Amino acid sequence: MPSNVEVKARVCDLDFLAQRAKELSGSDGTVIKQQDTFFTVARGRLKLRDFLDGSGQLIFYERPDMDGPKLSNYSITPTNDPEGLRRVLSDALGQVGQVKKERRLYMVGQTRVHVDCVEGLGNFMELEVVMKENQSTEEGATIANQLMQDLGVKKEHLIEGAYMDLLLAKGLQNGH
């Protein structure tokens, strides 16, 4: 199963973070609109990511809910019928809720830097250090910690869990 080391944090200064990500990646980033539907499963998380253009991805992942760098194992498959798949999975498993976001993706080395505007929650930054075959979790965490420093992300802004968890805690199952 592929893995990455992830970090998620609240963003206090969106302009500064976006500028630093642009400088570090050497690009303007790619804007991606996403609607994630989470389904009820016995372990891990199962979400259907709808890119709102007729394409999507079904993603299963497991990672500990803690702040700071953490290892996430995942499997993913594309779909050309996200709406149909959402209906079937909702009928079969039940929905936990939905997360709607606009994401700007920057690549910095082997790390995906996401600058996210999440409906109902605000602005966040997510780092995903895509692990190479023989790389240790510690190496991934070192890369993530260095990038956090380079982006001006402070430890007190780190969050644990998924956006879905934050929405549920606010009583916002569907992003609003």
Q: Where are the domains of the chain?
A: 3-169
May I ask the CATH class of domain 3-169?
Answer: mainly beta
Question: What are 117-155's pLDDT values in tens digits?
Answer: 999 999 999 999 999 988 999 999 999 999 999 999 999
pLDDT on residue 63:
82
CA distances 69 to 114, 153, 158, Å, are: 15, 13, 9
Q: Residue 106 above 60 pLDDT?
A: yes
How many Å apart are CA 135 and CA 84, to the nearest integer? Answer: 38
> Which stretches of the chain are assigned E, i.e. beta strand?
3-10, 30-39, 45-50, 56-62, 70-79, 95-108, 111-118, 122-130
Q: What is the mean pLDDT of residues 88-115?
A: 97
Q: Residue 147 is encoded by which pair of tokens?
A: 């990038």
Residue 53: its H or E element: none
Residues shown for the chain: 176
pLDDT on residue 173:
63
